[in-house]
Structure 1
Amino acid sequence: MTVDRNNSEVTFRIAAADQTDNVLRVLDEAAGWLGTRGIVQWPLRFEAEWVAEAIARGETWLVCAGDKVAGTITLDWDDPLWADLGGSAGYVHRMAVCRWAAGLGAVMLDWASDAASHRGVDVLRLDCVSSNARLRAYYEARGFMHRGDVAVGGAPGQRHDEGPVTWVSRYELDLS
């Protein structure tokens, strides 16, 4: 898919295994930037194994502005964090934008909504740490409805059965 953003062609390309470093570079930059703002959304450094399965399934995308990597997004079709609500949905994970491409998030969410609609699902879902008030307000301004806060085991950005507990806010966009 190609869209126009500030007269620059924006493309979405499925990330291949040999592009894992590009995905990690974008995620690490975003995590570092969040950290400087006092927001603990993700770990400061991502491990390759944390993204490897989604890349292997073809669910992780690199977003390019012109010929330069500007962001990454994972769009998949199942998330146990939402098991209590059911329904058919697309799930946005690890959406990050390079600082030089700030503002590209809206294009990425529109792309994810279109991709999920074309797949025939009812809603698009995502989550963020509950303490990230700015991101929560951004999602709400984009039409996402808050669907409750839940505790997740593991450090921020991870999902484990043990370790510290992180509270995340779940958001849902109706696609019908």
Structure 2
Amino acid sequence: MTSSRPAPVEQAVLADAVALHELRRQIEDWLGALGIEQWGHGHVSRQEITEQIQAGQWHLVRDPSMGVAAAARRLWADPEVWGADDTPAVYVHGLMVHRGAAGRGLGSFLLDWAAERGRAEGAEVIRLDCVESNTALRTFYQRQGFQEVGRRDFDGLWYSATMLEKTLQPESPLASRQG
């Protein structure tokens, strides 16, 4: 990104599947080199990403020099991690920032964007999870206002996950009338 303000968030299209899959693989390699067990190498296939794009889940920020600079999935339910829960919530998965765009605030930007969209759709909280042993990511999420609210073990299928959420304050009537 050449300016201090990120490009707008776009809904991914099918043509983005290859770039999203490649970004995921690059981040898997980077995390693995750091000894961080966040995502298993090759855990998500290009076909799965294609299906998730078709379901309208992937959103991204583009950069002219690198293509997809950051991306995340936005969901309205996550029974696999959070179980059956009637709390109106928006869920974020697969938050990725291209290493060439690291440090530019794109992760925070996408989380704020997802929270805003969730609030607009009636969500009371924004939720996400990460591998329990990834203390750097847990600290990042806490700095974004998320609180740890639980843990989920997956009986050897995945790593233990820390569940985090942040309450979304209702939009004030004044703010909704301004633009």
TM-score (norm 2): 0.83
How far residue 9 of structure 1 moved from its aligned partner, in angstroms, is: 4.2
Secondary structure of the corresponding residue to residue 9 of structure 2:
strand
- What are structure 2's unaligned runs of at least 5 residues? 170-179
Measured in 2, the distance between the counterparts of 1:120 and 1:65 equals: 31
User: Which residue of the partner structure matches residue 4 of structure 2?
Assistant: 7
Measured in 2, the distance between the counterparts of 1:72 and 1:121 equals: 21
**Residues 1:164 and 2:161 aligned together:** no
- What are structure 1's unaligned runs of at least 5 residues? 154-162
- The answer to whether the 8 Å contact 1:9/1:66 transfers is no
Identity, % of aligned positions:
32
- The answer to whether the 8 Å contact 2:73/2:94 transfers is yes
Deviations 1:17-49 (A, max 9, x none): 222001111111111111111001112233113
Measured in 1, the distance between the counterparts of 2:2 and 2:109 equals: 8
User: Which residue of the partner structure matches residue 174 of structure 2?
Assistant: none
Identify if the C-alpha distance between structure 1 residues 91 and 36 changes in structure 2 by more than 3 Å, giving closer, same or farther: same
Secondary structure of the corresponding residue to residue 87 of structure 2:
coil
Deviations 1:85-128 (A, max 9, x none): 53010000111000011132111111111111111110000000
Following TM superposition, the consecutive aligned residue runs of length 4 or more in structure 1 with deviations greater than 6 angstroms are: none
User: Which residue of the partner structure matches residue 47 of structure 2?
Assistant: 49
- Structure that is richer in strand per residue: 1
Deviations 1:47-101 (A, max 9, x none): 1133233211111112113463201110010101212553010000111000011
Partner letter of residue 107 of structure 2? G
User: Which residue of the partner structure matches residue 78 of structure 2?
Assistant: 79
Asked which structure has the greater CA Rg, the reply is: 2
Secondary structure of the corresponding residue to residue 166 of structure 1:
coil
User: Which moved further from structure 2: 92-101 or 51-60?
Assistant: 51-60
User: Which residue of the partner structure matches residue 174 of structure 1?
Assistant: 167
Residue from 17, 21, 25 that aligns with 2:22: 25
User: Which residue of the partner structure matches residue 177 of structure 2?
Assistant: none
TM-score (norm 1): 0.85
Measured in 1, the distance between the counterparts of 2:3 and 2:34 equals: 27
